[in-house]
Amino acid sequence: MYVLLFPIPFQMKDTGVEVQMSSWLFKQLKLHLEQEWKYQPREKGLSLIECTAENENTICPRLRNAKVEDLWSLTNFFGFATETFVLAVNILDRFLALMKVKPKHLSCIGVCCFQLAAQVVEEQCNIPSLHDVIRISQCKCTASDLKRMEKIISEKLHFDFKATTALTFLHLYHTIILCHTSERKELLNLDKLEAQLKACNCRLVFSKAKPSVLALCLLSLEVQTLKSIELFEIVLCIQKYSKISDSDLLYWRELVSKCLADYSSPACCKPDHKKLVWIVSRRTAQNLQNSYYSVPELPTIPEVGCFDGSESEDSCEDMSCGEESLSSSPPSDLEGSFFFDLKPKSKWPALSFDS
């Protein structure tokens, strides 16, 4: 039984309910470990974004990270769960790793990812209308543009949005520890861990990490801060069960530790879940209202063609710089293609760490 993975001093009491709970938790962990690869953004696409200069007409790390911070702000403004934010980032990264996107369309894409994540996580009655999201996000596109973009993203990701993320593992690990520890439950603050994960999500590099590894890094760093031998031994058992190597854990722990040091603030230690409130002057409010009803700067977004059926989903792909013809949908007023599918060109260099 899964509970026997833990050293004898830290096993749960041998009661039927507790043993069943532990068994269920580890079955869930095994299930998500088997599925996590399906929801990771393509490493090749992420690597291309990483090496993109800011003066190029495509997405660079700074633009991606800034858009994720915007998603964080939107999540706070509407009072949505951390899961909505993490899922929105996952959808965004998976899409950006598949398609070459022009910077001027990133705002529209970000809002669509936010809406798609909210539809999965939040209660339907709490999801704002497209017009409200357009107004708050100031994305300068129409509701029609958002619907068209949502269709494109949905098709490219095969309508598979309910992803296994680092937050999934963070919650599982946290629950497993609470089930097996004799320490005070409040020692391991889940809100703090979630806030730290959100900080990591704002860095493109962590999209390359396995979600299970990223979550364990956050947990192990917190346990190290608490200086609890019991919690440390439980984390070691979780690491062994999850088959996470010491080299992977140490590599990502160092990056996570540096990221958290950069983001170190009272807000990270004590997350503030209050909704964002805008205080504006009457003139600013009038300008916002006028801009809301004005013609947006971006033209209508056209649909894009599908992948070439002859290409393998697992083939090594590169970004194409050439224009492609649009699909057979009615012509749009936007010249050229919106963004491009990845095309096989050259071999990508191997990364220096296990993925």
Phi, psi of 318 (to 5 degrees): -130, 165
CATH of domain 24-164: 1.10.472.10
The β-bridge partners of 101 are 339
Contacts of 203 (CB under 8 A, 6+ apart): 65, 259
- Residue for token digits 């800011």? 54
Positive or negative CA dihedral for 115, 126, 270, 40? negative
Structure confidence at residue 116 (pLDDT): 97
Structure confidence at residue 239 (pLDDT): 96
Structure confidence at residue 180 (pLDDT): 87
How far, in Å, CA of 26 to CA of 96, rounded? Answer: 33
Structure confidence at residue 331 (pLDDT): 35
Residue ranges in the chain assigned as alpha helix (H): 16-35, 43-50, 61-77, 82-96, 106-121, 130-137, 143-156, 166-180, 190-201, 211-226, 229-242, 246-262, 266-269, 282-293
Q: How far is CA 46 from CA 52, 60, 247, in A?
A: 10, 10, 22
Query: Mean pLDDT, 10 residues at a time, over the chain (355 residues)?
Result: 37 59 89 96 95 90 95 94 97 96 94 96 93 90 94 95 96 92 82 95 97 98 92 94 96 96 64 45 57 46 42 36 31 36 39 36
- Domain coordinates in residue numbering, the chain: 24-164, 190-269
Structure confidence at residue 108 (pLDDT): 96
Q: Coil, strand or helix: which one is 100? A: strand
Angle at the Cα of 279 from the Cα atoms of 273 and 282, rounded to 5 degrees = 155
Structure confidence at residue 281 (pLDDT): 58
Please answer whether residues 288 and 311 qualify as being in contact, where contact means their C-beta atoms are separated by less than 8 angstroms. no
